[in-house]
Each structure stands twice: as C-alpha cells, then as structure tokens.
Amino acid sequence: MKLDSKVPGGPLEQKWDKHLKDINLVAPNNKRKYEIIVVGTGLAGGAAAASFAELGYNVRSFCIQDSARRAHSIAAQGGINAAKNYPNDGDSIWRLFYDTIKGGDYRSRESNVYRLAQVSNEIIDQAVAQGVPFAREYGGTLANRSFGGAQVSRTFYARGQTGQQLLLGAYQAMMRQVHTGKIKYHPRHEMLDVVVIDGQARGIITRDLVSGELNRYEADAVVLATGGYGNVFYLSTNAKNSNVTAAWRAHKKGAAFANPCYVQVHPTCIPVSGDYQSKLTLMSESLRNDGRVWVPRKKGDDRHPNDIPEEERYYYLEERYPAFGNLVPRDVASRNAKMVCDDGLGVGETGLAVYLDFRDAIKRDGRDTIEAKYGNLFEMYENIAGENPYKQPMKIYPAVHYTMGGLWVDYNLQTTIPGLYAAGEANFSDHGANRLGASALMQGLSDGYFVLPYTIGDYLAKQEPGKRYGTDHEAFAEAENAAQSKIDKLLNVNGNRTIIDFHRTLGKIVWDKIGIARNAEGLKSAIEEIRELREEFWQNVKVPGEKNNYNKYLEFAGRVADFFELAELMAQDALDREESAGCHLREEYQTEEGEALRNDEEYSYVAAWEYKGLNGKLEEQLHKENLEFEFVELKQRSYK
C-alpha cells in the first residue's frame, strides 16, 4: 500500500483553486451515465447526495434510520464556524485555518485545513439560501458567538439546535432530488460490505433492516459518510445506532484506517448516573461562554454548591488558563476536569463531576438573556438530571463525543481503494488530534457540498461511462456470502450473555485504558483484555430472533463484533504513538504543567493502518504519511 496524499503544489492560498483548474470534468450529457452510491445521510452524505444529483449524476442514498432526517448530525447543538468576519473582530480564512491546525495540535494536513477554512463561507451562504433559520441580530444580519480555541466570534448558530437545522437543510435538498428521481432513496438499509472489482470500489452489499434481505448494488463510485466510531466506548454522546461497521468493513477490504486513537472527549456532558445508562448527553460547549467551571477547593466539601462562598471555589480553568479561561479547547478542558476529580475535588454522588455555574451570568445579563441563549439546553438538563440550572450549577463530566480518526483519504477524499470515498466524521482528514467546537458541521458540509462534487468528477471522468460488471459478478457473490455467514454465525452462537453486556464490558476497557489518559502498560493490557472478551463474544453471545425479520439486536450484534476489532486497533495505534498530541494524552509524555508534550521529530505523521488479517490477534501494518508544515510554525500549544 502506498499513501499518496495528492496535495497540489504551490502557495497554500492557491492550492484548491489550482486543483479545481487542473482536475477533469464530466460533461453534462455523460453525468447521467454514472451512478454514485452514498452511504449515510448526515451533513456530509446528505449534502453530497443532493449536490451530485443536482449535477446530473444518478445517486443511490442509504441510511440505517427510518428517515434521512434522523442522521446523528441532527444532534449537534452549538454551531458552525466560518471565516465571515461579520463581527469585525479580526477573523480571516488564515486565522480560521491557523486556529484549526493549532487546535488539532499540528497533526492534520495543512492543505486540507486551509481548504476547509476557504469554503466555510460558502457553506453559510448555502444554508441561508436553503432557509436555515440562523440566529440574527435586530438589524437583520446573522449573529455570531464564540467557541473554544478561538479568540474571535465566528460561530453561526440556530439556538442550541444548529445541527438539526443544517441537517434539515441538507435533507430537504436531498428530498427535492428524490422527487426528481435523480436520487433513489433507501432508508432502513445497512451497508455490510463494499464490493471491489479489479482494485476499484464497484458497489455495496446491504441488509434491508425491515425484511432482513441482503441486496447488491452496483455503481461507479461509493461514498461512505457513515460517521464516527465513538460508540466503541458503549457510553458516548453518539446516537445509539451510530457505528463503525461500514468504515470497518471497507478497512478490511483494503481502505487504510488513520489515527484511530484520536478520540475527542467532550468536557461538558451530563455525568453517568447508573449501570442501566444507555448513553450520555452533551451540553453544548457554547455554555462555556457564560457558564463558569469550578469545584470546591476543599476535598469532600458536601455543602450545597450555592452555599460555598466565592473564595472557596476553585475556578480551575480561569486560574490555570487566564487568556482563554473557560473557553480553552475541548481536550484541555476534559483533561483538567479529570485531573481535579482524580485529586478528589469532584462533586456529586460519584465524585466524577464538576460544576458549570450560570449564577454570575444570570446576575450580569438577567435570566431572560440567558434563557434566550440556552433555554432549550437548560430544559434538557432539567429533564435528565432533575435539577434546575437557573437555580443551581449544572453538574458536568467529560464524555466521548467525536472521533478525529477514520478512513485515510487523500486531498480528493478518496480512500486507498480507488472509487471509494469517505466524508465527514468517517474520514480522518481535517481535525488532527483534536477538533475545535463548531468545526464538525463545517467539515461535513464542506466535504459534501463543496469538495466531493468536484473531486469525484475527476475520478469518474477517467472511468468508462456506463460500464457494468453486473451484480452476479463473483465479487458481489463473495461479499454477500461473507455478510450472510457473519449473520448466521452470530445467530448460531446462542450463548448466555447479552450483546449489551458484552458491549458495556468492552466500553469499560476502552474508557479506562484508551480514554482521556493512556499509558503503555494500560494499553498492552487493554489489547489482551479485548482479545479475550472478543473470543468469549463469539462463543457466548446471545442474539435473539430471526435473520429474515426486523431485528434490532441482530443489527447491534454485527456492529459490536466490529467494535471489538476496531478497539484493538485503537490500542495498537495509541501504543505506537509515543507522544501526547491533542486528545491523545500518553501519561509518559507530558510537560511539567501536565500539558500534552508532542514529539514532532518522530511522530509528525498520520498513522494509516492496513488490515492484514485476524486470527485471535488483529494483524495491521502501519504506513506513515509524513506531515509537512510549510506554512505554519510548530509550537507548543498554549492557551494561558
């Protein structure tokens, strides 16, 4: 396997324009001869499917939910970044690029991140034209707010439901194309394999989640926009159905998987309350604009938070990071929350929580102002936690939220399998070792609306229009048979332990040993434990029901089986990276102040793993894409 990032030469500012000038186009009368499969209907997949169809390509769109509108992008709360500089506070494309590269702790590709910043403005234009009801000022212009890791206000938002509104925009654009017949729409379908013929992606195998039937679909190119793998942790802020299966099975077919150890732990989530817990709920980072994070200075202080006087409150982020205060990036905020709780200063029944307090903001701006900004989030908190955040501080704790790692892609978003593309959270491309708040929506939409529609044409232009191998080709048959035997195997185990029980146990290993902080010893033991548990899974899992029927537990069993394999690769990758970078904190490599200590000499690379086999142990070969920084100077990140 050879990694060729295909980054165009020339000055950073001109790379994308130059690339657009150089790449091949498909003539309008030829576009209708090509078919593109898009798996996933979140921001990246929905935007890509709609844009491809508008261009005249034939599209097939698949999602596991009962409607494209339910993809997990819908749950993104806080906002979307763009370099519009409407507040006149000194923002620019360069600054958005720089903040993103720095926020990612210099572990992403300069060219990709610069392009992301460049197209960010077009995304806002597009969304407004679609009728996305962004927040506005009294003068009728768009409003902005600030987010972590930036000293400008560049985040556009629709109350605490920005993801929902942007997703509905993409969904509606997509449904318009379903209406024209350019998109064939397949909800409640799960992709189980990618079909590769003569080294090129030529189709997929899906399971109809209602009938249980396996189907074959052929196409000229396949786009995976299937999201991240945060649910490997069992408890995360991801939706329950979010999974790695499409990406993982593509990996096993030859697509390199990059930086699997880069997992973002979001600092402001509602803490775990019990074993029955099925997911964790995020409270938007935007709350850190007005909320102050603190713990009692005294260990075991069990007074009601409102009774703890000012001088006995430890506002640890404000004290330790005076320049950014409560708005430090997510990795820094999460690590600090863990540190104060490890020091015994945590609050709540479990001691694994810190306060996020709006008392001062309410006093300063009035309850109405705070309610207008965060009303729905406060309501959500009260529903779940049963406490009123207008009257007492919220309790929050970090939770797994986003995965920066994903399928390796080149500048065109193509994986190492020609004709197979990955977009949005499913790829590894833009966030390095840590993603800044409000950048996921930007990246998903950038990939879908403004990158793939051009780059996929470059590939298709080189393919013979209308060429078909037919779905009775042996590669389709083999892939379908493999998918079928995996399902049969799961149903035939008939063991004694439930899928959730296995998943929860796996999640605990991954959280404890490949979570906020990692070390060599823990990672090695994680690999052993994962292998043992995986072995037991295949001998003792209990999967109910039938294959030819709606069977949610069967779906889950297949996904958990894939998480078991991915988890081992995450540990391997974390073990290989003997440095700390962004969200990847190796306890052996820290500054004296407990900040992540990078080793640019040896680890300034993207770790791209090639699947070699699975036989008790996961065999993977490491390929390195060296990151060259021509335009920014690598520095120790400082938010002090």
Residues with a catalytic annotation lie at: 330
> What does R_g of the chain's alpha carbons equal in angstroms?
24
Look up residue 435 and give its two tokens: 């993603």
Site for other proteins in 147-186 (CB under 8 A): 158-159, 161, 164-165, 168, 171-173, 175-176, 178-179, 185
Please state the closest distance from residue 315 (CB atom) to other proteins, in A. Answer: 28
One-letter amino acid of 517: A
Out of 92, 273, 471, 525, the only residue in the binding site for other proteins (CB under 8 A) is: 273
Comparing CB distances to other proteins, the nearer of 127 and 192 is 127
Please state the closest distance from residue 190 (CB atom) to other proteins, in A. Answer: 13
Out of 367, 552, 624, 640, the only residue in the binding site for other proteins (CB under 8 A) is: 552
Which listed range, 193-201, 222-230, 316-324, 447-455, lies at the site for other proteins (CB under 8 A)?
A: 447-455
Site for other proteins in 223-262 (CB under 8 A): 239-241
Out of 187, 351, 418, 495, the only residue in the binding site for other proteins (CB under 8 A) is: 187
In which element (H, E) is residue 600 found? helix 600-603
CA distances from 21 to 28, 292, 414, 463, 500 (A): 18, 49, 19, 20, 51
One-letter amino acid of 328: V
Backbone angles phi, psi at 58, to 5 degrees: -90, 130
Comparing CB distances to other proteins, the nearer of 185 and 609 is 185
Please state the closest distance from residue 511 (CB atom) to other proteins, in A. Answer: 18
Please state the closest distance from residue 185 (CB atom) to other proteins, in A. Answer: 8
Out of 94, 98, 315, 553, the only residue in the binding site for other proteins (CB under 8 A) is: 553
Comparing CB distances to other proteins, the nearer of 137 and 602 is 137
Could you tell me which of 296, 293, 355, 360 has the C-alpha nearest to residue 328? 293
Comparing CB distances to other proteins, the nearer of 170 and 527 is 170
Please state the closest distance from residue 138 (CB atom) to other proteins, in A. Answer: 5
Instruction: Count CB neighbours of 614 within 10 A.
Output: 14
| H helices, E strands: number in the chain | 18, 23
Contact between 611 and 577 (Cβ < 8 Å) = no
* DSSP label at residue 136: B
Contact between 381 and 219 (Cβ < 8 Å) = no
Comparing CB distances to other proteins, the nearer of 384 and 622 is 384
Strand partners, 264: 402
What is the three-class DSSP state of 599?
Answer: coil
Comparing CB distances to other proteins, the nearer of 164 and 439 is 164
Residue 220 CA to residue 460 CA, distance in Å, equals 7
For the CA atoms of 81, 87, 88, 91, the dihedral, rounded to the nearest 10 degrees, stands at -10
Contact between 247 and 426 (Cβ < 8 Å) = yes
Binding mask 96-135 for other proteins (x = CB under 8 A): -------------------------xx-xxxxxxxx-xxx
In which element (H, E) is residue 373 found? helix 367-385
Number of residues that bind other proteins (CB under 8 A): 83
Binding mask 375-414 for other proteins (x = CB under 8 A): ----xx--xx-x----------------------------
Backbone angles phi, psi at 244, to 5 degrees: -105, 0
Site for other proteins in 36-95 (CB under 8 A): 47, 50-51, 54, 65-70, 72, 74-75, 84, 86
Comparing CB distances to other proteins, the nearer of 379 and 600 is 379
Please state the closest distance from residue 594 (CB atom) to other proteins, in A. Answer: 32
Site for other proteins in 449-468 (CB under 8 A): 449-450, 453
Comparing CB distances to other proteins, the nearer of 282 and 514 is 282
Residue 325 CA to residue 316 CA, distance in Å, equals 9
Comparing CB distances to other proteins, the nearer of 12 and 64 is 64
Please say whether the dihedral angle defined by the alpha carbons of residues 247, 52, 142 and 117, taken in this order, is positive or negative. positive
Contact between 271 and 334 (Cβ < 8 Å) = no
368 counts as binding other proteins under rule CB under 8 A: no
Interior/surface letters 117-130, b for 16+ CB within 10 angstroms, e for the rest: bbbbeebbebbeeb
Which listed range, 189-197, 260-268, 274-282, 396-404, lies at the site for other proteins (CB under 8 A)?
A: 274-282
Out of 1, 25, 27, 210, the only residue in the binding site for other proteins (CB under 8 A) is: 210
Please state the closest distance from residue 147 (CB atom) to other proteins, in A. Answer: 18
Comparing CB distances to other proteins, the nearer of 67 and 481 is 67
Comparing CB distances to other proteins, the nearer of 170 and 608 is 170
Please state the closest distance from residue 581 (CB atom) to other proteins, in A. Answer: 30
Out of 542, 590, 597, 614, the only residue in the binding site for other proteins (CB under 8 A) is: 542
Backbone angles phi, psi at 241, to 5 degrees: -90, -5
Look up residue 290 and give its two tokens: 């007005």
Instruction: Count CB neighbours of 282 within 10 A.
Output: 24
Binding mask 280-309 for other proteins (x = CB under 8 A): -xx---------------------------
Look up residue 14 and give its two tokens: 């001109």
545 counts as binding other proteins under rule CB under 8 A: yes
Pairing of strands 58-62, 80-81: unpaired
Site for other proteins in 563-622 (CB under 8 A): none
Residue 400 CA to residue 198 CA, distance in Å, equals 39
Residues 6+ apart with CB under 8 A from 123: 80, 82, 442, 445, 446, 449, 450
Contact between 560 and 232 (Cβ < 8 Å) = no
Site for other proteins in 488-517 (CB under 8 A): 496, 498, 500-501
Residue 217 CA to residue 203 CA, distance in Å, equals 5
Out of 549, 591, 621, 638, the only residue in the binding site for other proteins (CB under 8 A) is: 549
Please state the closest distance from residue 537 (CB atom) to other proteins, in A. Answer: 15
469 counts as binding other proteins under rule CB under 8 A: no
Out of 90, 139, 300, 309, the only residue in the binding site for other proteins (CB under 8 A) is: 139
24 counts as binding other proteins under rule CB under 8 A: no
